[in-house]
Amino acid sequence: MNTTSLLRASLAAFAAFALASGCRTPPKGEADEYGEGEVLESEFPGGLEAPGDLPLGNIDFSKLAPVVPPAAAGIAPVYFSYNESAIPASEQGKVANAALFLMQNAGVVLLVEGNCDERGTNEYNMSLGEFRAQSIRNALVAQGIDPARIQTVSYGEEKPAVPGSGESAWRLNRRGDFAFFQR
Amino acid sequence: MSPTRFLPVFALLACAAAFAPALARAQSAPIVVSGEAVPKGKQSLSMDALRGDGSDAARLFLQVLRKDLELSGWFVPSDNPGGNVSLAGTVRTSVSGLSAAVTATWMAGTRTRTWSKDSTTAGVRDAAHAVADAIVADVAGKKPMASSRILFVGRRAGATETEIYACDADGGRPSAVTSDRKLCLSPNWNPGANSFLYTTWLTGTPAVMQVDLGAGKRTYVSTQPGMNQGAVKNPKTGVAAIVLSRAGMVDLYLVDPATRRVLDRLTRSRDSEASPTWSPDGSSLAYVSDAGGVPRIYTMALAGRQPRRLVYDGTIRENVAPEWGPDGRIAFCGRSGGRYRIYVVDPSKTPAVPEAVSPADGTDYEDPSWAPDGRHLVCTRTAGRQRFLVVLDTLGDPPRAISMPIAGDWYLPSWSDNAVRTLP
């Protein structure tokens, strides 16, 4: 990667991060529930690219050996709020730990696994879990990690860390897990 | 990639287990055939003159036929004579297996029609379903569903992986269709019901595969990096709408199933999209987006591509899992009062007013899929920690649970749009 493309990648990464953390449409008030004819911003056809894209690479993790980080690396699941994909301030340190581990181990690649609690339909939770994994990927890229080293996968509500209902289980299931592999 | 091995694991056991309780109920509850006792919109149907020869095959044929006619919602079958419709004829074992000749007489004896059906012993249920469908189509003049089949996700008790399963419209013959021993989700019948799509984690990351029932083989349809979810084929063009995350965002795309090429990208928003479904004419999509802060359903015409919000009922803030039905109505799942219910809405009406079709009973009803009759829906019901399939009637018959012969979770159903001739 030459200097220009590195700069371009970094700019794209920061733009993506800014979009991810700041530009999510805020929930609207009750008034709009009774509105008439609301439409979303027009989705213009033409091409597959869009501003803020951070395309995924194509690493086949099934052929790679898992890497278990030492406890001192502080790798832990990132937890999310209900129906949210933004990384809470309290969880940012975990993302920084993962970024540091990737920087110190150049031959390691990462699969970020997004998960949801059981509430909501299976299909939407699959998308929400992917969005959470992408939020973590974007944050790592914003901290200088090559996007080609990070893939995402969503398990939706299919892989709970803790069985059972209620917030005590749900808060541990709305998470992003880090799975490291040796390339 | 080796072909999928189809596992008709517990089909026979399942028939017995699934039907014994239902039959016991049907026999113990006397049905009075008179003008007053038959609910509005139904016809009493006499089966006393339709006789079996005492064989197991004939008995099964008559049981399945009677249940199918009842489940169609248009008839109240009984062994009492003098119904609005009378069935007569014989069902007997033959050299090939079973031979049935059924004559229906209706409209005060002015209309008569006879169907003859031969089948192998293994095909008795198919033969009964076919005769039931003929009676529903010709006598009631309605779209039938008895020969259609339901695909769904199954997770056996204690398992972490899932498989795709299938059963008859009446819940009979449940069996596993895949043996991936990984996470398998989102089965969607293709138009015509000869094949279906599903997402499998076979290689550790998700990909969409097509299973061809006749050939008994499967092929990859979408293998993009990241998620490959919710793929569903356009009824006219065969192009698949799908949710991908290849661009680093979760968006709705079009993929050519034959070449696996991404043809187009339908959304470019930094929000989550999910659950695409095609209109019957293939010109429009309905899907879920959380662009408005909560997940909601939008419709989009391929020409113009302007997303339009579907539901404006303030009591259903969160609305997801749309499925566009054969008559143009959209079924969906809405969160109201902390629970999920199934609603039906006609998107061509202004305003489009959703009507609840699942009970408010403190349990969750999700993921509706239309029967080919455009009247019934199958959905997932979650009660306590158990998920199982329930058939709902948009005209008011009570919900019917589909019982499975083994313990587990059964969810994400897809009902075929057509008769399924080749058994998975």
pLDDT tens digits along A147-165: 999 999 999 999 999 988 8
Question: In the CATH hierarchy, which fold is given to the domain comprising B149-415?
Answer: Neuraminidase (2.120.10)
What pLDDT, on a 0 to 100 scale, did the predictor assign at position B350? 83
Q: Whole-angstrom Cα distance, residue B29 to residue B405? A: 24
Question: Cα angle vertex A158, ends A153, A161, to 5°?
Answer: 90
| pLDDT confidence bin for B423, thresholds 50/70/90 | low
Q: Average pLDDT of chain A? A: 81
CATH number for domain B31-140, candidates 3.10.20.310, 3.30.70.330, 1.10.3720.10, 3.40.50.10070: 3.40.50.10070
Q: How many CA atoms lie within 13 A of A163 on its CB side?
A: 6
Q: Do the chains contact at A151 and B205, CB–CB below 8 Å?
A: yes
- Sign of the torsion angle spanned by Cα atoms A21, A113, B4, B367: negative
Burial of B169: CB neighbours in 10 Å, binned 0-12, 13-18, 19+? buried
Q: Where in chain B is the domain with CATH 3.40.50.10070?
A: 31-140
Flag whether residue A135 sits within 8 Å of chain B, measured between CB atoms.
no
- Which of B155, B202, B232, B245 should we substitute to test contact with A (largest number of A Cβ atoms within 10 Å)? B245
- Residue A175 exposure: Cα atoms within 13 Å on the Cβ side: 18
Using a CB–CB cutoff of 8 Å, tell me whether A124 touches chain B. yes
Q: How far is B279 from chain A (nearest CA, A)?
A: 19
What is chain B's alpha carbon radius of gyration, rounded to the nearest angstrom? 22
Distance CA A8, CA A12 (A): 6
Report the alpha-carbon distance of residue B202 to residue B214 in Å, rounded.
Answer: 22
CB contact under 8 A, A126 and B271: no
Residue A15: pLDDT band (50, 70, 90) is: very low
Q: How far is B270 from chain A (nearest CA, A)?
A: 7
Q: Is B297 on the interface with A (CB under 8 A)?
A: no
Q: ipTM above 0.95?
A: no
B288 and A54 within 8 Å at the Cβ level: the answer is no
B294 phi, psi to nearest 5 deg: -125, 155
Average pLDDT taken over every residue of chain B: 90
Distance CA B212, CA B234 (A): 17
Length of chain B: 424
* Portion 99-158 of B in contact with A at CB < 8 A: none
Given this model, what pLDDT does residue A28 score?
Answer: 36
Interacting residues of B56 by C-beta distance below 8 A, sequence separation 6+: none
The region of weakest confidence among B21-25, B205-209, B210-214, B219-223 is B21-25
User: Which is it for strands B43-52 and B75-78: parallel, antiparallel or unpaired?
Assistant: parallel
pLDDT at B347: 95
Model confidence at B42, pLDDT cuts 50, 70, 90, reads: very high
Residue B382, token pair as written in the block: 């979650």
> Which of A48, A60, A138 lies nearest to residue B262, judging by beta carbons?
A48
pLDDT of residue B270: 84
pLDDT tens string B157-197: 999 999 999 999 999 999 999 999 999 999 999 999 999 99
The fraction of chain B above a pLDDT of 70, given in percent, is 90
Integer angstrom CA distances of residue B286 from B120, B222, B265: 42, 20, 15
Domains and CATH numbers, chain A: 3-23+64-182 (3.30.1330.60)
Specify the pLDDT at position A6. 42
pLDDT of residue B384: 85
Residues of B in contact with A134 (CB under 8 A): 245, 248-250
How far apart CA B187 and CA B242 sit, in angstroms, is: 13
pLDDT category, B37, cuts 50, 70, 90? low
Is the confidence at residue B356, as pLDDT, over 60?
yes
Identify all chain A residues contacting B291, using CB atoms and an 8 Å cutoff. 25, 40
Span(s) in chain B for CATH 2.120.10.30: 149-415
Structure confidence at residue A52 as a pLDDT band (50, 70, 90): confident
Better-predicted residue by pLDDT, B130 or A41: B130
- Residue in A30, A127, A147 nearest the CB of B250: A127
Q: Is residue B36 predicted with pLDDT exceeding 60?
A: no
Whether the predicted pLDDT of B398 surpasses 90:
yes
- How far apart are the CA of B358 and the nearest CA of chain A, in angstroms? 16
Distance CA B147, CA B129 (A): 5
